[in-house]
Structure 1
Amino acid sequence: MSDCNQSVPKLSIAILVVGTRGDVQPFLAVARKLQEYGHCVRLATHSEFSGLVKSAGVDFYPLGGDPRVIVEACTHPDPITGDSFRAQAIIANPPAYGRVDVAEALGVPLHIFFTVPWTPTCAFPHPFIPHISHRAGYWLSYVIVDILIWWGLRGHLNKLRKNKLNLSPINGLLDTNQVSISHLPTTYMWSPRVLPKPNDWGPLVDIVGYCFVDLGIKYEPPQELVEWMQKGVAPIYIGFGSMPLKNPENTTNIVLEALKNTGQRGIVDRGWGGLATHAQDVAENIFLLSTDCPHDWLFPQCCAVVHHGGAGTTAAGLKAGCPTTIVPFCGDQSLWGAIIYERGVGPAPIPIAHLSVESLSKAMRFMLQPEVKSRAVDVAISVRDDDGAAAALDSFHRHLPLPNLEQGDQVQTIFGYLARFCCLFCAS
């Protein structure tokens, strides 16, 4: 335990996460580490992740839904224990808009945690504007994204400030402090060996390593999957998570034909996009996965992985030592695809619009090269050496304004405020 940890009092901490399962899982690892220290933690995210959060032993509160129900759930004592909760600090990811306003109104410190680069830098462009070719535009791309988000949300945020938080509205068209994170302590949850900290990120920014939750320990796989895995060599995993497919049947045909061309066994994960949903009479070397299967259980048993490039899925593949092909759809996925290629643990990313039998077959053959596997194993060893959650705890403690923490006792309704804001925004 670092020296800064020894002087930090036990706090009530609200963690606010907006995003997909891959966004939520790293926060569970951090929440559990905070609890180990002695902090009282509530994690607020989408209702569909209630079971995931609770199974990790972390208190859950929903964001969204009926505001009246949400306000009651977030302001009343714990329905089981009767314990009260008063947040003294907030941890949030950037998509949890309204975080700055709520923290301001309640007088508590705010700390940003994220799995995607969101701090302006001249090292690489904003993940949402990946095709900028000139370094001079990299830093500007982050400013542009902040301005566009502020223009889209300023009406909602000002309504929240005026009607719920008793704060003055912010009318400047370029005053992006309510959505920017440049002025806030920020902790990034990826390995610095995969993406090092840029030289122009100052002391407010830390990169702590991947924060994993080992879901595979309690996982009981279907017997048919176990038996199929035992019948042959390690397969290639292909799945695109929650990404929608414009033509699932065509994408399925590409995947199956590429596996046939390369003579490989394959696990095809149907995911949310309906991959292989209508496939019938597939070859014996193909297993169609239609149930949730933790990546930390599955990927170590695969020889390579092909996926959309979400931060969480990419991290799981790297930890498992799997050569990786990323098929980006949107957002930060192209960034991780480029990094995989630069590290030599996979081919150049194949945008979903360019996915073909030829391109996927070529990518599979690239991943099967012994030297690519060797590099992937080296990366896996370095990733496993990180204790991201412990480093995240240190980062959080190091940036706390300790003399001012007692002011956090005034916090009563943070979850009610944020949940009501999310409802207003989603309904608009």
Structure 2
Amino acid sequence: MDCRSTWQLGVNNAVVFDDKIRFREGEEQRAEISTSSNLEAGNQDYIETSPGLSNSDEQINEKQELMTSNKMGKGENGYYDWKLDRISEREEKTMVANLMKIKKDEVLVDAAQDVHVGPELRAPDSINSILADVPSKSSSDLLTKPIPKLTIVILVVGTRGDVQPFIALARKLQEFGHRVRLATHATYRSFVKFAGVDFYPLGGDPMIMCGHMARNKGLLTSAMTEISKLKKQMKAIIHSLLPACTEPDPDTGAQFKAQAIIANAPAYGHAHIAEALGVPIHIFFTMPWTPTSSFPHSFVPMPLRPCYRISYLLLDLVLSRIIGDLINDFRTKTLKLSPVAYFSTYHVSISHLPTAYMWSPHLLPKPHDWGPLVDVVGSCFLDLGLDYQPKKELREWLEVGPKPIYVGFGSMPLQDARRTVEMIKEALKQTGQRGIISKGWGNLVTTQAITDEIYPIEECPHEWLFPRCAAVVHHGGAGTTATGLRAGCPTAVVAFFGDQFLWGKKIHEKGLGPLPIPISQLTAENLSKSIRFLLNPVVRRRAAEFSKLIAREDGVGAAVEAFHRRLPPKMPIPRAVAEGEERRKRWCSCLRSMP
């Protein structure tokens, strides 16, 4: 396949038909692709210093943002234009039609043909195109910057593993005098409240969404009926965001108005809420979502390096196509904002927003082409389970034999849980290992009894359990991966979709575990081979050494420091949503002043 440059990608026929959305590569790439898919007013309280040190090796200067925005240009409404917004409507339609022609219910991306995408898309992201000769702020300036005590809302969509690091972040922000509300799905209410953080329910059912992802290997491979279900979930989430930022506490009735927003990337609508309220927003996430030429987007696994960067744009385009009508309906009817251009990736893009990624830079360093707007802060551990008191049976079982192998797939659903349990038991038998099998959402624990070799478990904090295990086998979620590596456990990943393949690959590259096993290829034999790899003394030694690197990180402290550093010099006072178009200009001024 001839891929002449990052932005001259052979893309033809991104089509929706029959019952799937999928990406089709040229014939010579098909096998590889199939494997890969495998301030309230008057608040004058300030924090004197910002905590911790950032793991980022770059700091941003206000002049840099202004120079960047000048390079980008501004739209009629005063907010930043995206690359797609800088070309004519006719060019937009022609280009996007070549990228993806939507029919019925399938999206196909064929990289076997050459289609000229245009110079507007070959350039790096404008937001991250910072001139090298602009001086950066010193870390001492950043650490002495006065920080107001704020009312902050954290918007999180996803599984328990997605929510957990944000609880750690919320608790740390509370230590600095901020009032923090964590808004996420109702099923996590007790989890959040138990940690001492205010809770507000968001719409959407994470089990339904996770089931969609597992069945379709991500966001993009789905039948029309699946798209309808997904849009229903997204609509519920989007329309719950504004109340989460402005409504009183549902338990105490205490008034609440967010002065700053923290959100994870899938909380679609976050930037539109920030624009409507005129408050700063900072994206935090555990999965790479910023365009880079170092690796493709985990939901668009293009195999060739020259095509990596465009995979992020393609995802934004497809998602904009799927939920753009929901976003514009929300903007016009609820937020009283003008609609976004149909083909604009502003519906879902985060490239213009300050972003911090919550994983260890020792596992995945910050890519060279992520500008100073992006930080990699380290993993954010909650550690509530360190004082966990297990059942007597579990403690005794752990004490009477060698350290076991942990096997569990967290929030991942399984098509045949009983068959999967039998494969796990057979693999443990073949390798002569004891095992702890965790139930999870896949219901791995059925009617199993405790035996000398197998201990079925329904719930146990990983931070307590993993140090007591010889190795771990799991789905490769970012949080579970980080906890296992911090515990010094060799790790095998059974990947279902998305970034799970990425983390499995990175684990293997570091010599900490075997290559990831796609869930479709999970057999007793494959699992046995992976377990034997984990038990190799060299692998165990590497895992022990790597755990020391993660133990030295303060991801939560670095995350709070990054949030404080990105706040604008003068915090805006939140406005009511109905105040109209002037709010947009204030918000854009806020964006330009953000360091």
- Tell me which amino acid in the other structure corresponds to 2:574: G
- Post-superposition Cα deviations, 1:65-96, rounded to whole Å, max 9, x if no partner, equal 89999988875544665542221110001110
Is 1:309 paired with 2:476? yes
Matched residue of 2:327: which SS?
A: helix
- Tell me which amino acid in the other structure corresponds to 2:455: F
Is 1:407 paired with 2:573? yes
* Structure 2: distance between partners of 1:162 and 1:346: 50
Seen in structure 2, the aligned counterparts of structure 1 residues 357 and 69 have a Cα distance that, compared at 3 Å, is closer
Instruction: Tell me how large the CA RMSD over aligned residues is.
Output: 2.2
Structure 2 equivalent of residue 49 of structure 1: 188
Deviation at 1:378, TM superposition (A): 1.3
From 294, 303, 308, the counterpart of 1:138: 308
Structure 1 equivalent of residue 452 of structure 2: 284
Bigger relative CO (Cα 8 Å, ≥ 6 apart): 1
From 206, 228, 232, the counterpart of 2:397: 228
Matched residue of 2:303: which SS?
A: coil
Seen in structure 2, the aligned counterparts of structure 1 residues 396 and 74 have a Cα distance that, compared at 3 Å, is closer
8 Å contact kept, 2:152–2:181: yes
In structure 2, stretches of 5+ residues that fail to align are 1-48, 51-140, 205-235, 580-595
Matched residue of 1:327: which SS?
A: strand
8 Å contact kept, 2:300–2:311: yes
- Post-superposition Cα deviations, 1:334-383, rounded to whole Å, max 9, x if no partner, equal 01110110010000111111111111111111101111011111111111
From 350, 357, 368, the counterpart of 1:199: 368
8 Å contact kept, 2:424–2:524: yes
Identify which range, 187-196 or 1-10, moves more after superposition.
1-10
From 98, 113, 120, the counterpart of 2:284: 113
Seen in structure 2, the aligned counterparts of structure 1 residues 80 and 364 have a Cα distance that, compared at 3 Å, is closer
8 Å contact kept, 2:340–2:346: no
Matched residue of 1:406: which SS?
A: coil
Is 1:358 paired with 2:525? yes
Structure 2 equivalent of residue 398 of structure 1: 565
Structure 2 equivalent of residue 127 of structure 1: 298
Is 1:152 paired with 2:322? yes
8 Å contact kept, 2:245–2:257: no
From 249, 256, 266, the counterpart of 1:85: 256
- Post-superposition Cα deviations, 1:114-155, rounded to whole Å, max 9, x if no partner, equal 00000000000101123x221011001100011111111111
* Structure 1: distance between partners of 2:354 and 2:337: 23
Structure 2 equivalent of residue 422 of structure 1: none
From 100, 111, 114, the counterpart of 2:271: 100
From 391, 411, 415, the counterpart of 1:242: 411
* Structure 2: distance between partners of 1:284 and 1:250: 21
| Identical residues among aligned pairs (%) | 57
Seen in structure 2, the aligned counterparts of structure 1 residues 365 and 73 have a Cα distance that, compared at 3 Å, is closer
Structure 1 equivalent of residue 423 of structure 2: 254
Matched residue of 2:347: which SS?
A: coil
- Report which of the two structures shows the higher radius of gyration computed on alpha carbons: 2
8 Å contact kept, 1:86–1:411: no
Seen in structure 2, the aligned counterparts of structure 1 residues 69 and 194 have a Cα distance that, compared at 3 Å, is closer
Seen in structure 2, the aligned counterparts of structure 1 residues 412 and 299 have a Cα distance that, compared at 3 Å, is farther
Seen in structure 2, the aligned counterparts of structure 1 residues 330 and 406 have a Cα distance that, compared at 3 Å, is same
Matched residue of 2:289: which SS?
A: coil
Matched residue of 1:25: which SS?
A: helix
Deviation at 1:172, TM superposition (A): 2.7
- Tell me which amino acid in the other structure corresponds to 2:175: E
Seen in structure 2, the aligned counterparts of structure 1 residues 251 and 364 have a Cα distance that, compared at 3 Å, is same
Is 1:320 paired with 2:487? yes
8 Å contact kept, 1:249–1:278: no
8 Å contact kept, 1:75–1:412: no
* Structure 2: distance between partners of 1:52 and 1:411: 31
Matched residue of 1:407: which SS?
A: coil
- Tell me which amino acid in the other structure corresponds to 1:54: K
In structure 1, stretches of 5+ residues that fail to align are 414-428
Seen in structure 2, the aligned counterparts of structure 1 residues 127 and 79 have a Cα distance that, compared at 3 Å, is closer
